[in-house]
Structure 1
């Protein structure tokens, strides 16, 4: 039935897996996740979200969540293994993140990627109203725009890539590189996080497809596809309001007390992913302890590692390495009842996360490669007291906007050590003009501004076609 005028197509539905299995549905909001990003844009609007519910096989009946209509795409165990774990996260993800880990190629994975993308395109074609806006999300579904245009040429189709788009020398390794590019070019507007990703895409379509590219977009086969950089953001006002609550302030004080009332708290919140630089960060902190430049329990590191993708071997191995290294650091530099590193492998709710941000003197966000990193922006927004320090990787998309942060090269362990010390030496009770400037930026460039900018550009791209 065609009844939806705004349709989001994403790999996953934005619902909590555990709750859904019990027939209770709530919005799935994890730090940096797609559901977290789009929640304030879609909540209580007449929108439809198409995606997988998270469990192989038939999907239980779904109800609207926060006013958003949920439409499931069913995947088998084989679909999940070969499309999601295989082509998306073992082939594309490494290449799109500078080949931090080697990409793996299997022909059956590509076949599954095509098959599953067609399933999403078919579902969107079924539910979209005539002339609807269909907004396809991320690297899992790069073939959907062209497939959907074939089925429903009346639709206004946008595609947004949340992860980095790689330089030509990496993307050219893909055996099916032309098909991926053709798939994306089915959209009217292709959005990226940063301008250099747009540049990489233009280089590739001219080289691989012999298309014409200029500042307006791509011309191929009689169509013009607009491209642009649209840095995603957060619901700044919501995080500021949450972090100002009395219960969050009390919880932050309790957290510091539970940590032994250290003089300084360093916090990192990452999905457990080899692109996040967790091992490099732990190495730097270990060396600071060994050098005597920081001492436990006066300074503690709280590392939150949000579990996910643990069925993919590379991610499972990372989890084991991180746990071993945390154990070694605590064995060498902690003492009975006092840890040098507090490692938490769990998902926190929004209130707990805000309290962690308020409790941290230094936020260390040091990915090796990241499309944006919304955790960095959330920390800045949560520091309504004006205090705190952000140590941020140059290779996170957020670094292009949060230029007042302590910027580091995460591969340079000595540089990370020196920068952490510099941030730790700032007075934790003294409001930071650098933080104030970053907060002003994300207030102006929040998630609503991002959505308006993208959707306005999509309307302009479709005008007069």
Structure 2
């Protein structure tokens, strides 16, 4: 059996006696690596004074990880710069926040070359490579130039932007052309895949053939829709664990008979947190009879604090939550509980289970696994209601959620009222259909679907 080499920006190393951390993606990749005896390669997250190409190997729970350290300039230009200040906002339709700096692009290219230089000696001819996400778009091209003729796939975990937005990136065509070094390229939804086909067809002259085949000159790739899921069985089990039961009881006790709305999102402008707060405020204004019957718990761990746009959104949410609480709170009730820290998956499972409404309203999201975790954590006899943005990739699968336009405060307000007043039989019916999808198209299904497509492909010559 071919060995699998997974490549990502960061590597999650399991600790002895613990399950893999880092969520469903880490769980799926560790399972694939254990089955195939492979390597997980990427950045350690550490900074070194001078890049040497030294690889730190570790082996835990049957998985070998291989990590490298990067220089501070690499982190500033490749990670904080091109990945998080150029590609991330652009791919999430926020060209107003995208920064196009040549040093960012140069750092991105340099780090991808360093990945290719360091990884190449580890690759055997029979290995299969699976590259993850927007940090490493051109890595396959670099490996081909160094002689790799292996089967090689790439999966994008974020949206693919429309053609006219993508062309604001100065090096868009050159960057997209590097994807044709892979054999299989995967997207979460048909929308993202269609946007990719539109760009390469209209702007680069690629030929779009049936069955997901795209030809550009002498290169051919296969594109597939492959939505990622969660480890559903594990999350259901986590929702019944002692820590989850304790968290559930604590939330029920603190709710004092009120219905809880839960939001759990990384502190990011793509998550629609300000819009969510404004929609909730509209609900409080339009339905005064409901005010003391409900509260919103928003958990928003900070991220990328060194990037100015993330500092701005944190300050904006602090101000907005304070204004709403100042306007509507009473001695015995606070409308918004706003928490800037993260919690373990089992604690979150208990919190989800205690919530009458799960509010997942990103402005744009490649998938959104919180939506699926909320569904998996529910009590089948008395499930909560998922309010889900139409612009999350998960909306293509979780069609029984209350789908909303997060830009509309009125629509969010109406959805909250609908969810609070939804009869039990309708809640159960909607939950059952969503749960069936969460179970059938879980993270193991995602991993198998992609690797099956990759194994069935013919390797691109170096």
TM-score of the pair, normalised by structure 2: 0.92
Please give the alpha-carbon distance, in whole angstroms, between the structure 1 residues aligned to 2:420 and 2:18. 42
Please give the alpha-carbon distance, in whole angstroms, between the structure 2 residues aligned to 1:101 and 1:43. 43
Please give the alpha-carbon distance, in whole angstroms, between the structure 2 residues aligned to 1:365 and 1:66. 34
Matches within 5 A, 1:26-425: 27-29=20-22, 34-35=25-26, 38-42=29-33, 46-57=37-48, 63-99=58-94, 101-215=96-210, 216-258=212-254, 260-293=255-288, 295-336=290-331, 338-386=333-381, 387-425=383-421
Please give the alpha-carbon distance, in whole angstroms, between the structure 1 residues aligned to 2:323 and 2:425. 32
Q: Deviation of residue 428 (structure 1)? A: 6.6
Please give the alpha-carbon distance, in whole angstroms, between the structure 2 residues aligned to 1:100 and 1:112. 20
3-state SS of 2:112 partner:
helix
Q: For residues 212 and 276 of structure 1, do their structure 2 counterparts lie closer, same or farther at Cα, with a shift above 3 Å needed?
A: same
Contact between 2:11 and 2:42, CA under 8 Å: does it hold in 1?
Answer: yes
Please give the alpha-carbon distance, in whole angstroms, between the structure 2 residues aligned to 1:43 and 1:343. 40
- CA deviations 1:184-239 (Å, max 9, x no partner) are 11100011111122221122222333222223321123232111111111111111
Please give the alpha-carbon distance, in whole angstroms, between the structure 2 residues aligned to 1:109 and 1:463. 31
Contact between 1:97 and 1:166, CA under 8 Å: does it hold in 2?
Answer: yes
Say which of 11, 14, 25 aligns to 1:13: 11
Q: For residues 445 and 418 of structure 1, do their structure 2 counterparts lie closer, same or farther at Cα, with a shift above 3 Å needed?
A: same
Number of equivalent positions: 455
Residues 1:445 and 2:438 are matched in the alignment: no
Contact between 1:87 and 1:109, CA under 8 Å: does it hold in 2?
Answer: yes
Q: Deviation of residue 261 (structure 1)? A: 1.9
Contact between 1:137 and 1:160, CA under 8 Å: does it hold in 2?
Answer: yes
Please give the alpha-carbon distance, in whole angstroms, between the structure 2 residues aligned to 1:174 and 1:212. 23
Contact between 1:244 and 1:384, CA under 8 Å: does it hold in 2?
Answer: no
- CA deviations 1:397-438 (Å, max 9, x no partner) are 000000000000111110111011101112579861110111
Q: Deviation of residue 36 (structure 1)? A: 5.8
In structure 2, the gaps of 5 or more residues are none
Please give the alpha-carbon distance, in whole angstroms, between the structure 2 residues aligned to 1:396 and 1:179. 28
In structure 1, the gaps of 5 or more residues are none
Please give the alpha-carbon distance, in whole angstroms, between the structure 1 residues aligned to 2:417 and 2:320. 21
Between stretches 274-283 and 298-307, larger displacement belongs to 298-307
Contact between 1:14 and 1:28, CA under 8 Å: does it hold in 2?
Answer: yes
Q: For residues 345 and 464 of structure 1, do their structure 2 counterparts lie closer, same or farther at Cα, with a shift above 3 Å needed?
A: closer
Q: Deviation of residue 43 (structure 1)? A: 5.7
Please give the alpha-carbon distance, in whole angstroms, between the structure 2 residues aligned to 1:412 and 1:450. 33
Between stretches 247-256 and 273-282, larger displacement belongs to 247-256
Please give the alpha-carbon distance, in whole angstroms, between the structure 2 residues aligned to 1:160 and 1:7. 14
3-state SS of 1:272 partner:
coil
Please give the alpha-carbon distance, in whole angstroms, between the structure 1 residues aligned to 2:337 and 2:106. 43
Please give the alpha-carbon distance, in whole angstroms, between the structure 2 residues aligned to 1:302 and 1:369. 21
3-state SS of 2:278 partner:
helix
Please give the alpha-carbon distance, in whole angstroms, between the structure 2 residues aligned to 1:72 and 1:464. 26
Please give the alpha-carbon distance, in whole angstroms, between the structure 2 residues aligned to 1:27 and 1:38. 10
Contact between 2:186 and 2:226, CA under 8 Å: does it hold in 1?
Answer: yes
Between stretches 146-155 and 136-145, larger displacement belongs to 146-155
3-state SS of 2:177 partner:
helix
Please give the alpha-carbon distance, in whole angstroms, between the structure 2 residues aligned to 1:126 and 1:120. 11
